[in-house]
Amino acid sequence: MTSQLCHIERIIGDRAEPGLAHRLHHLAHEGRVETVTVAVADLPRRRFRAVTDQGTECAIALPRDTRLFDGAVLLLEDDRAIVVKVGEQEWLKLRPAEGFALELGYLAGNLHWRVRFADGHLLVAVDVPRERYLARIEEHLAAGRVTLVDG
Amino acid sequence: MSKGAARVGIGGPVGSGKTALLEALIPRLKARGVDLAVITNDLVTHEDAERLRRANLLDPSRVLAVEAGACPHTVIREDPTLNMEAADSLDRAFPGLQLILIESGGDNLASTFSLDLVDYWLFVIDVAGGDDIPRKRGPGILQCDLLVINKVDLHEHVGVDLPRMLEEAKAVRAGRPIVCTNCRKGDGVDQVADAICHAVLFQDA
């Protein structure tokens, strides 16, 4: 099993770089560009196993100062390439009622949620099933102190 | 910068058996030829590091201690710089090093490791803490790469329904791996070593 592993120890570059893009374009025409999908929450990982969309098992061990990104080229051979695709990040968009923003911010920090702010809304990164986030603010949703926007 | 040794975190509540797991893991990993070192985290002492050094499981220079000085999760998640520096120093001191095990100080169920610090992490709970622990869905239990349920030999003595505890742990972890251990006797510890070797050393037994 180990002998079939594709060992990857560096990022060759960004698929958008002209030199790489040209070679990848040709390989893609022949269906030889494989994709490894990495969840946003897993991007900081330096060592992990992954399987490409074409079934190649990869053993990825990157230098500590390297960070994965969407479009990172991990392998580029004459007849094959492997490129990273970052999974989409889902966000919960929450609107606090007037006077409740501070408390909602405190709650999110206390629960160690990853958040962003936009137009008076709190965006919470969905790293575990969304029901688990909603369960934590159930009372506030019911009382109208927080509103879930867009679903 | 080189890729250095793989870094594996071991977290979990106070008294769940993190240090006992380390004591059981070290000889098993050494027997597999893994070149390893350990970093322990304590609140204001070097107690766990001293315990490991006294046990003579590793050369004392391969056991480093980090004093958290505050809530233990702050130095494995919010600002893991002290642990990263300790791990970097082990990489420099031992060029062939393959694995660094980083034991967190005892914490609560919300404790998690930053993936900037570790490549893979375990969360250790024990049956004596109560069979409702998995049901409480703490981030440590949900997000760890491997959940270890320790002291399974005690379940009858503390009135714990172990099969139910396991079923609930499986349900909240949506199929992610769980290992039952009795670290004092070594039961299940080989499975933990297998999981670490497979995941970050890319070695299978």
Q: What percent of chain B has pLDDT over 70?
A: 99
Q: How far off is chain B from A5, nearest CA to CA, in Å?
A: 9
Q: Does A3 touch chain B (CB under 8 A)?
A: no
Question: Which ranges in B102-161 belong to alpha helices (H)?
Answer: 139-143
pLDDT at site A144: 96
Closest partner CB to A46 (pick from B119, B137, B139)? B119
Q: What is the pLDDT of residue A2?
A: 41
Q: Which domain holds residue B18?
A: 6-198
Residue B185 has pLDDT above 50, yes or no: yes
Q: Pick the residue of A11, A38, A47 with the most B CBs within 10 A to test the interface with B by mutation.
A: A47
Mean per-residue pLDDT over chain B, rounded: 91
The Cα–Cα gap between A78 and A75 comes to 10
Tell me: do A16 and A43 sit in the same domain: yes
Range of the domain at A36: 2-86
Q: Report CB contact under 8 Å: A112, B112.
A: yes
CATH number at residue A114: 3.30.70
Q: Do residues A35 and B107 make contact, with C-beta atoms less than 8 angstroms apart?
A: no
When divided into structural domains, chain B yields a total of: 1
Which tens digits make up the pLDDT trace of B34-84?
A: 999 999 987 777 878 888 888 889 999 999 988 877 777 888 888 899 999
Say if the Cβ atoms of B120 and A48 lie within 8 Å. Answer: yes
Q: Do B1 and A48 touch (CB under 8 A)?
A: no
Pair A6, A69 in one domain: yes
Question: What pLDDT is recorded for position B94?
Answer: 97
Instruction: Tell me how far apart the 2 most distant CA atoms of chain B are, in Å.
Output: 51
Cα separation, B56 vs B139, in Å, equals: 34
Per-position pLDDT tens, chain A of length 151 = 445 899 999 999 999 999 999 999 999 999 999 999 999 989 999 999 999 999 999 999 999 999 999 999 999 999 999 999 998 888 999 999 999 999 999 999 988 888 999 989 999 999 888 888 999 999 999 999 999 997 5
Q: In this structure, are A39 and A18 located in the same domain?
A: yes
Same domain for A59 and A10: yes
Kindly state whether residues A51 and A105 are assigned to the same domain: no
Residues A80 and A95 in one domain: no
* B3 vs A49, A64, A127: nearest CB: A64
Q: In this structure, what are the phi and psi dihedrals at residue B163, rounded to the nearest 5 degrees?
A: -60, -40
Same domain (yes/no): A68, A15: yes
pLDDT digits (tens, 9 = 90+) for B3-40: 899 999 999 999 999 999 999 999 999 999 999 999 99
